[in-house]
Every structure is written in structure tokens, then in C-alpha cells.
């Protein structure tokens, strides 16, 4: 029996898809060369051709062995950390980001993410790294303004653009700043990374790619993806692939979920705070969460949510000078409660709120039974309660019955499903405290007939 052609193609999909990814990556790199109006060298051309050589359809995957990993480590040499310039952050992460890895910086809108990202980029550029800024949240002119502010140029001067101001700006643009490459929304993650890596190889430098932000940039292959979550996940994968492939340091900003920054005691853990995709949590070598401090306009808390190079959950205080777009370390207010205590308080608050809801349902049930005075069956109690409250789940009805307990009285015998009464003497003080004195007396005074009560 001959299988359907579609079924026969299934074993070929993995190598075919891998080849397609290589073709796409090569296309992006060639486009980057064209944009820079630069012809590839013979060695570069050979590398590109070798990458897209048709793979054997019989190629099989095989696991990596320890010897191969050790050989790769020997060839690569020791991991190289690049300090960020923030002493505490560098200390906690073993010296800063490692080449070939990616960090993620999470925060609410206007929390200072772009300012911190621009500061790290500026530090790296002055240190001699080739820096790329792939940004959609801000235009290149806005990002360049941040760099100028860090050199003493006021934002108002960047807006006025007088001849004298422009002369001063040109004087401030050092070789390091002039080499920063700004990538707009026209560039996919892969295209920007390939262009930056090619320029770094040509210049004989290491490179840093800043991505701002994960929710607004785009990947090369996301046109057919059907949800925001899958799109963001694809971008995370692209960042990982490009960082690993080219030995880049990549730091990408990400919006937090609303519940993560809504208040100081957010119920969402920092590890799960990235908006749209949980892939950030799993892909990050280091994940940072940036929040403002309530009552402190320029004080920020940088928390290390995940750290492959050292301790996590560490808190670093940062003071932002918005005029010069500079962040420096600062003392944070003492935490009055531990995270465990905060969670315990939230759990207790949830339990109290649930208890109040159940007491309210039980009180309404008592009112219905007292008013019907034997003309209501247990079978009809639930539907009547739902009609009175507009909505009430079956578990909540059962919980309310349990709260009333012995206060619900029904006659025995074969017709025990009928004739439901209320014995107000069995109502608890907790329940009666929810009503006014007049109604409290009426409910507490409700009694079943003597023959039922026996």
C-alpha cells in the first residue's frame, strides 16, 4: 500500500525546515550587506554558500556527548563577562552579561527601562564595543537625545537645534557614539543582529544589541503566526538564536503584565511578570524587574528575578536623574515584610473575602426560608436563591447551607423534602451581626412549628 504523498513527506520536514531557516538567515545577512552597500569578501561568500548547501535528506539527529561539550568549551575558551557599570548588578551576576547570552529587563511603562538600557549601551560603546539599538518604542532621534543628555546636552537644546547647539552636539559625538547603529521598525531581529555581527567582525570588535521592546519589534518569520503569545515567543527564540550564533550580548526590554505593577504587593511573581509570553522566563540567563518606589519620584527598585550566574531575588536601588538620563545606585527603604509574609497576608485577605461572600449568601438563604415558613422545599431553595441573587453557584449554595447548619429545619418522614423552616436560635452571632437590629430580632425569633421542632 502506497502512503499518501503528504504522509511520505513527514520524515523530511525537520531537515527541510532547518534548511529553510538557514536560507532565511542567509537572505537576512545578504540584505544587511546590501543595505550597507558592501560586497562580501571571498571568505564571507564561501561561508554563506556553505551554510545553504543542500542538506542530506537522510541526515539524522544525534545527542551531544560530554566529550563534545568539553571540546567545544576548550575551543571557545572561558566565558567573558562584560560589566554594566552598576557595581551591585555586576557583583550579583558574576561580572555582568556573558557574550552569547541574553538578559531581559521587565518593567511598567515609564518605569525607566529604556533609560537603563541606553545607559548600559552608552557604557559599552565608550568601552569599545560595537553597539546596536533595535528600537520601536522610541524613534532614533529620541534615543540619540538620551545619549546627548548623558553628555550634558539638555533636551530643550535637542528640540531647539540652533546652530550653536548643533555645533556643541557634534563636538560631543565621540568616535564611540558615532559608531552606535540605530535600527528602526523596518529591521527584523535577525536582520539587525546579522548586520551588527557582520560590522563587528569587520571592525574586529565584540558587539552588544539592545532590543526595545519585545512586544513591539518583529521577527523575520512571524507573518503566519496566529496569536500575540506565539509571536512574542518566536521573538524570544530569535533573540536566543542570534545571541548564540554571533556571540552577542543581547538585552531586551519587556512590558510587565498589568497585575505585576498595579501595586506594591502584586500577586504576580517577578518570574511570571513578562507580558504575553512565558518563554521569557525560560530563555533568560538573567531576568530583571524594574519598579518605581511608591512616594519616591526618582527612586527605582531593580530586582533580580532570575540569575544563572549568582543569587536571585536581590534588590538594587537606583536613583534616576531624568535631566541627564543617568542611573546611580541608591539606598532602598527597608522592606517591612518578607515576601512570604506578604503572600500569607494576601492569602488571608482572600479567605476573608470568600468568607464574607459565603456569609452573605447564607444570610439571604435564611431570609428566604424564614419568609416562606414551611412552603419551600430544599429542592427549590437553590433556584430561588439564584433568582434572588441573580447568580449563585451550586458549591456556594452548599457552603451557605453548611453555614446555617442546624438553623435549617425540615420535618422527617417520607415528605422530608418539603416544609423547610428556620430556627433563628441556631443562627450564629457572626451571621446576625451582618444585619440591622430590627431584622436581627426577626430572624433570631423565627421558629419552626412545635411538631416539626420535635
Please report the pLDDT score of residue 140 as a whole number. 93
375 — pLDDT class (breaks 50, 70, 90)? confident
Q: How far apart, in whole angstroms, are the C-alpha atoms of residue 114 and residue 135?
A: 10
10: DSSP letter? G
Q: Which residue has the higher pLDDT, 378 or 362?
A: 362
Residue 37's SS3 state is coil
Q: How far apart, in whole angstroms, are the C-alpha atoms of residue 18 and residue 61?
A: 12
- Let me know the angle formed at the C-alpha of 227 by 226 and 231, rounded to the nearest 5 degrees: 95
Please report the pLDDT score of residue 263 as a whole number. 47
Q: How far apart, in whole angstroms, are the C-alpha atoms of residue 266 and residue 107?
A: 13
Is pLDDT above 80 for 452? no
Please report the pLDDT score of residue 57 as a whole number. 46
DSSP string, 228-265: HHHHHHHHHHHHHHHHHHHT-EEEEEEEBPHHHHSSTT
| C-alpha cell of residue 257 | 503584565
Q: Which residues have C-beta within 8 Å of that of residue 427, sequence separation ≥ 6? A: 366, 404, 407, 443, 444
Please report the pLDDT score of residue 91 as a whole number. 95
- Let me know the angle formed at the C-alpha of 230 by 262 and 134, rounded to the nearest 5 degrees: 75
Please report the pLDDT score of residue 78 as a whole number. 92
Is pLDDT above 50 for 376? yes
Per-range mean pLDDT, top range of 270-284, 333-347, 370-384: 370-384
Global model pTM greater than 0.85: no
Which whole number is the average pLDDT over 170-179? Answer: 87
By C-alpha distance, which of 256, 250, 305, 261 is closest to 282?
305
Which whole number is the average pLDDT over 68-73? Answer: 89
DSSP string, 45-67: HHHHHHHTSPPPTT----PPPHH
Per the CB < 8 A criterion, the answer to whether 136 and 267 are in contact is no
Please report the pLDDT score of residue 261 as a whole number. 54
Instruction: List phi, psi (to 5°) of 181.
Output: -105, 120
Q: How far apart, in whole angstroms, are the C-alpha atoms of residue 429 and residue 201?
A: 79
For the chain, what is the mean pLDDT?
83
Q: What are the residues facing 327 on neighbouring strands? A: 320
310: DSSP letter? S
> What is the per-residue pLDDT across 102-143, written as a single tens digit (0 to 9) for each?
999 998 888 899 999 999 999 999 999 999 999 998 999 999
373 — pLDDT class (breaks 50, 70, 90)? confident
Q: How far apart, in whole angstroms, are the C-alpha atoms of residue 109 and residue 412?
A: 65
| Kind of pairing between the strands at 326-330 and 315-321 | antiparallel
In the chain, pLDDT over 70 holds for what percent of residues? 81
Is pLDDT above 70 for 52? no
> What is the per-residue pLDDT across 3-23, written as a single tens digit (0 to 9) for each?
444 444 444 444 445 556 666
| C-alpha cell of residue 271 | 518570574
Q: How far apart, in whole angstroms, are the C-alpha atoms of residue 196 and residue 306?
A: 27
Is pLDDT above 60 for 324? yes
Amino acid at each position: 500500500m502506497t502512503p499518501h504523498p503528504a504522509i511520505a513527506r513527514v520524515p523530511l520536514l525537520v531537515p527541510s525546515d532547518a534548511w529553510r531557516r538557514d536560507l532565511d538567515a542567509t537572505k537576512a545577512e545578504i540584505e544587511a550587506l546590501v543595505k550597507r552597500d558592501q560586497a562580501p569578501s571571498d571568505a564571507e561568500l564561501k561561508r554563506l554558500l556553505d551554510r545553504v548547501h543542500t542538506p542530506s535528506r537522510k541526515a539524522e539527529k544525534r545527542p551531544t556527548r560530554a566529550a563534545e561539550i568539553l571540546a567545544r568549551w576548550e575551543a571557545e575558551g572561558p566565558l567573558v563577562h562584560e560589566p554594566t557599570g552598576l557595581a551591585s548588578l555586576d557583583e550579583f551576576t558574576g561580572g555582568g552579561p556573558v557574550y552569547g547570552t541574553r538578559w531581559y529587563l521587565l518593567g511598567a511603562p515609564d518605569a525607566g527601562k529604556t533609560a537603563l538600557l541606553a545607559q548600559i549601551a552608552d557604557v559599552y560603546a565608550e568601552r569599545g564595543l560595537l553597539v546596536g539599538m533595535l528600537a520601536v518604542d522610541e524613534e532614533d532621534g529620541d534615543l540619540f537625545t538620551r545619549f546627548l543628555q548623558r553628555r550634558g546636552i539638555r533636551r530643550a537644546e535637542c528640540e531647539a537645534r540652533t546652530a550653536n547647539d548643533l555645533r556643541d552636539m557634534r563636538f560631543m559625538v565621540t568616535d564611540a557614539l558615532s559608531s552606535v547603529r540605530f535600527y528602526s521598525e523596518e529591521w527584523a531581529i535577525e536582520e539587525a543582529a546579522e548586520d551588527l555581527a557582520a560590522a563587528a567582525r569587520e571592525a574586529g570588535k565584540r558587539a552588544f544589541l539592545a532590543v526595545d521592546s519585545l512586544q513591539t519589534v518583529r521577527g523575520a518569520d512571524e507573518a503566519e503566526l496566529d496569536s500575540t503569545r506565539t509571536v512574542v515567543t518566536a521573538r524570544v527564540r530569535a533573540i536566543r538564536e542570534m545571541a548564540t550564533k554571533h556571540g552577542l550580548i543581547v538585552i531586551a526590554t519587556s512590558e510587565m503584565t498589568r497585575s505585576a505593577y498595579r501595586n506594591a504587593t502584586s500577586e504576580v511573581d517577578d518570574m511570571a511578570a513578562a507580558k504575553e509570553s512565558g518563554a521569557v522566563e525560560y530563555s533568560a540567563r538573567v531576568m530583571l524587574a524594574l519598579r518605581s518606589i511608591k512616594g519616591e519620584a526618582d527612586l527605582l527598585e531593580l530586582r533580580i528575578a532570575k540569575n544563572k550566574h549568582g543569587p536571585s531575588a536581590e534588590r538594587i536601588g537606583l536613583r534616576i536623574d531624568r535631566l541627564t538620563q543617568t542611573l546611580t545606585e541608591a539606598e532602598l527603604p527597608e522592606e517591612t515584610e518578607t515576601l512570604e509574609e506578604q503572600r500569607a497576608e494576601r492569602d488571608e485577605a482572600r479567605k476573608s473575602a470568600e468568607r464574607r461572600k459565603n456569609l452573605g449568601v447564607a444570610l439571604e438563604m435564611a431570609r428566604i426560608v424564614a419568609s416562606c415558613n414551611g412552603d419551600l422545599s430544599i429542592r427549590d431553595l437553590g433556584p430561588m436563591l439564584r433568582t434572588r441573587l441573580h447568580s449563585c453557584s451550586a458549591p456556594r449554595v452548599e457552603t451557605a447551607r453548611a453555614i446555617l447548619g442546624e438553623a435549617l429545619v425540615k420535618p422527617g418522614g417520607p415528605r422530608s423534602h418539603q416544609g423547610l423552616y428556620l430556627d433563628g436560635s441556631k443562627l450564629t452571632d457572626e451571621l446576625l451581626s451582618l444585619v440591622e437590629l430590627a431584622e436581627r430580632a426577626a430572624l433570631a425569633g423565627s421558629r419552626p412549628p412545635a411538631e416539626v421542632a420535635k
